[in-house]
Amino acid sequence: MERTYIKELKNKIGSEIVIKGFVQTIRDQGGIVFLIMRDISDICQVVVLKSEKDIFELAKTLSTESVLEVHGLVKEEKQAPAGIEIQAKAIEVLSKAEPELPIPILMFKSGDEAEMTKRLDWRWIDLRRPEKIDIFRLWTALEQGFREYYSQNGFIQIYTPSFMSAPSESGADVFEVQYFEKKAYLAQSPQFYKQMAMASGFEKVFIAGPVFRAEPSFTTRHLTEFTGWDFEISYIESHYDVMSVLEDTLIAGFKAAEHVTANALTVPSKPFPKLTMAEAKTKLKEAGIKSERLYDLTPEEEREICRLTKEETGHEFLFIVDYPVEARPFYHMRHSDNPGLTKSFDLLYRGLEITTGAQREHRVDILEKQAKDKNLGLTSIEDYLNFFRYGCPPHGGVGIGPGRIIMKILDLPSIKEATFLPRDVRRLNP
């Protein structure tokens, strides 16, 4: 008999069916055993009567989180979840769980770091909770929206290597690995290869893949490995063209995810509010927020400037544009009329940076000068510089942190909760 998902049972009343899933709870009431079963779609109640002698005795020996196949009759029962239950006719134990679970399949106190550490040690059990599965349904819907936009607008997906011969951002915060007889580095971003695609004439590309950052950070928003979504586009006039594409991408993603989560999810409208870094610093100073960073925003400043913008515009997104050169890598294009500022931006969402982007410098002589200004040796980036020696269109792009977006949509206490298997300074398992 073909398997029926639990969410479909309401259409099967009076029918014999087969369900498969985990035993969530067991209640032995003497002459009857109640099992609450869970599959990917929902939960339901299974009733095992004493008159069904063989399976009744089996039910008494079960442990929670064992995996079962249950054959039975679907019946109406007002006291049961969703008003239906299954009267069991046969039970097969597909996998018996050990009687003592290392962690309960129950909600821990939100934000308790010690309990989070233990849950992450047993992540595959922690992920059985339905609200955890919903996190990754949201990931799926958001990415489907992005991909639909890219497909409709002529983007090409590329797959870039994680091993690099030189750091992609700078010498700091990079994982160095032994690569046969050489040193290699884990990619801090696919930046160089996105730009190579522009030099190859691909014009529009997107990437979904791992990013590695050797930052000794112990915050709720940092990981040493995370999934990044990137795009790069050619023939732009300025970084504002990149921002416009990013707006369209996010709108498409939010529309796709709108009905997946019970959390308040407002599909944003164009244009997103924009402030220069100088304007943001002025507004924060007027609000009484002291700045600890001259060329960037602190987490407190990010939260406060978003709060002020939400009050003024009702918008949950905010672009901070025109960062000083001190805060940006050498390959960001600089304003011709103000070379101390770059044609770059960060996008904040609900008080957190989720995206960094810029127009890139595509003129090799200027790139070389800017690299020297940042004290980078040209030999170490020779392959990268060669991308621009034989013609390359003006271009720009972004790196997006989808885990941070999910974290803010669902109001999760840490990005670790939004990550299937998080990696941080201390964690390499499971």
Torsion-angle region of 395 (φ positive above 0: left; ψ -120 to 50: alpha; else: beta): beta
Dihedral sign, Cα of residue 287, residue 292, residue 297, residue 300: negative
Tokens of 106: 């129950």
Show Cβ contacts of residue 310 under 8 Å, excluding neighbours closer than 6 positions: 316
Sheet holding 156-157, edge to edge: 156-157, 204-212, 225-234, 395-400, 352-359, 344-349, 317-321, 274-276
* β pairing state of 84-95 and 225-234: unpaired
Annotated binding-site residue? 30? no
Give the helix ranges, DSSP H, for 327-375. Answer: 364-373
- What gap in Å lies between CA 430 and CA 81, rounded to an integer? 34
Cross-strand bridge partners of residue 226: 211
Annotated binding-site residue? 222? yes
User: What interhelical angle do 130-152 and 239-257 show, nearest 10?
Assistant: 130
Annotated binding-site residue? 282? no
- What gap in Å lies between CA 415 and CA 413, rounded to an integer? 7
- What gap in Å lies between CA 30 and CA 25, rounded to an integer? 16
Q: How far is CA 163 from CA 185, 227, 237, in A?
A: 6, 16, 32
Tokens of 410: 């669902």
- What gap in Å lies between CA 313 and CA 204, rounded to an integer? 32
Enclosing H/E stretch for 185: strand 182-186
Annotated binding-site residue? 111? no
As a whole number of Å, the end-to-end CA separation of the chain is 36
Annotated binding-site residue? 303? no
Annotated binding-site residue? 280? no
Answer for the pair 190, 205: CB distance below 8 angstroms, yes or no.
no
Tokens of 160: 């870039």
Annotated binding-site residue? 213? yes
Dihedral sign, Cα of residue 297, residue 298, residue 304, residue 306: positive
- What gap in Å lies between CA 241 and CA 244, rounded to an integer? 5
Annotated binding-site residue? 223? yes
- What gap in Å lies between CA 105 and CA 94, rounded to an integer? 20
Annotated binding-site residue? 123? no
- What gap in Å lies between CA 158 and CA 281, rounded to an integer? 38
Q: Where do we find the tokens 């020996």?
A: 61
Q: How far is CA 350 from CA 93, 228, 289, in A?
A: 46, 19, 18
Annotated binding-site residue? 215? yes
Residue numbering of the annotated binding site for ATP? 213-215, 221-223, 353, 401-404
Residue numbering of the annotated binding site for L-aspartate? 169, 213, 356, 360
Residue numbering of the annotated binding site? 169, 213-215, 221-223, 353, 356, 360, 401-404
